[in-house]
């Protein structure tokens, strides 16, 4: 009898090991695409001259999740048309529909199905079109809750762009995002946050966020500290685009600053790329 019980225990252990859930790989890109609304100011770097290079970058990197900042309606329409493997979520910040820059989220259709999504404004009245605190313009955060088609596991993703002028707006926006994380996502749900934060990652404004999420650049075992804002080659020291994560293991973090995708610069920001598993 003892031998039979031992055999049963061994079989149960083997079955348990064989059915243990394996980590799921994921690649997340944050990309300030540089708005198309200022072609004269951008000169040779105007959107028309670099839009195909942006598609080339995305096709080369094949992100699972992609967050855009500064995406204007014509840019979103071009990406929608040329990224058939992705679905997109987001609204214009000026009217909550199609007007103005969009904090667009793209996700691979083969990997996920959408459960919930939304947009809130970075302001004292986040559920309505509004401008907050000392910000120079309206700012939004787009979020999604996705379900994996492979194993049914949920993943949360938020994408935003903090104000470039208002220090109070940046500080209060982080507090608002932290509150929204608690409101929108279960603690057990892996979560990613991408943004042009317009702040270095050692700025004290990040303290509330770092209490609930991990900054990927410093946590990934394979990483770099390259500049993310290039200002069309005039800057090489601004590190203001970041990725945060929770409930996932960071593997690599990279700034895409050396690759040639068919234009001298695909934007005045370099994309930043995180690979992870959850």
What pLDDT digit, counting tens, does each position of 181-223 carry? 999 999 999 999 999 999 999 999 999 999 999 999 999 999 9
Distance CA 60, CA 26 (A): 15
Query: pLDDT tier at 20 (50, 70, 90 boundaries)?
Result: low
73-82 and 51-61 are packed helices; what angle lies between their axes, rounded to 10 degrees? Answer: 50
Q: What is the reported pTM?
A: 0.93
pLDDT of 4 strictly over 80 = no
pLDDT of 155 strictly over 80 = yes
Query: pLDDT tier at 19 (50, 70, 90 boundaries)?
Result: low
What average pLDDT does this structure show over 219-240? 95
pLDDT of 13 strictly over 70 = no
Helix runs in 62-205, H state only: 73-82, 167-184
pLDDT in tens, 249-262: 999 999 999 999 99
What average pLDDT does this structure show over 65-91? 98
pLDDT in tens, 32-58: 999 999 999 999 999 999 999 999 999
Ramachandran area for residue 212 (φ above 0: left; ψ -120 to 50: alpha; else beta): alpha
pLDDT of 173 strictly over 70 = yes
Residues 6+ apart with CB under 8 A from 149: 110, 111, 112, 113
pLDDT in tens, 97-150: 999 999 999 999 999 999 999 999 999 999 999 999 999 999 999 999 999 999
pLDDT score, position 1: 47
Residues 162/195, Cβ–Cβ less than 8 Å:
yes
pLDDT score, position 236: 84
pLDDT score, position 21: 78
Give Dmax over CA atoms of the chain in angstroms.
Answer: 85
Average pLDDT, the chain: 94
Q: Residue 156: exposed, middle, or buried by beta-carbon count in 10 A (0-12, 13-18, 19+)?
A: buried
């Amino acid at each position: 009898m003892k031998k039979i019980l031992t055999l049963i225990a061994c079989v149960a252990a083997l079955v348990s090991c064989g059915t243990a859930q394996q980590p799921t790989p994921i690649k997340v890109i944050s990309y300030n695409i540089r708005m198309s609304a200022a072609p004269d100011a951008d000169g040779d770097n105007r959107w028309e001259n670099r839009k195909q290079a942006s598609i080339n970058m995305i096709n080369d990197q094949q992100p699972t999740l992609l967050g855009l900042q500064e995406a204007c309606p014509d840019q979103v329409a071009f990406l929608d048309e040329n990224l058939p493997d992705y679905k997109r979520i987001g609204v214009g910040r000026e009217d909550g529909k199609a007007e103005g820059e969009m904090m667009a989220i793209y996700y691979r259709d083969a990997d996920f199905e959408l459960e919930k999504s939304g947009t809130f404004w970075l302001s004292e009245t986040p559920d309505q079109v509004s401008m907050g605190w000392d910000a120079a313009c309206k700012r939004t955060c787009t979020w999604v809750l996705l379900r994996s088609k492979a194993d049914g596991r949920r993943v949360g993703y938020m994408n935003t762009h903090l104000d470039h002028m208002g220090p109070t707006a940046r500080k209060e926006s982080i507090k608002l995002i932290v509150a929204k994380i608690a409101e929108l996502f279960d603690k057990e749900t892996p979560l990613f946050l991408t943004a042009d934060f317009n702040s270095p990652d050692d700025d004290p404004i990040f303290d509330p966020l770092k209490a609930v999420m991990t900054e990927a650049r410093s946590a990934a075992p394979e990483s770099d500290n390259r500049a993310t804002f290039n200002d069309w080659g005039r800057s090489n020291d601004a590190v203001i685009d970041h990725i945060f994560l929770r409930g996932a293991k960071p593997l690599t973090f990279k700034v895409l600053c050396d690759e040639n995708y068919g234009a001298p610069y695909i934007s005045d920001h370099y994309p930043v790329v995180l690979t992870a598993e959850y």
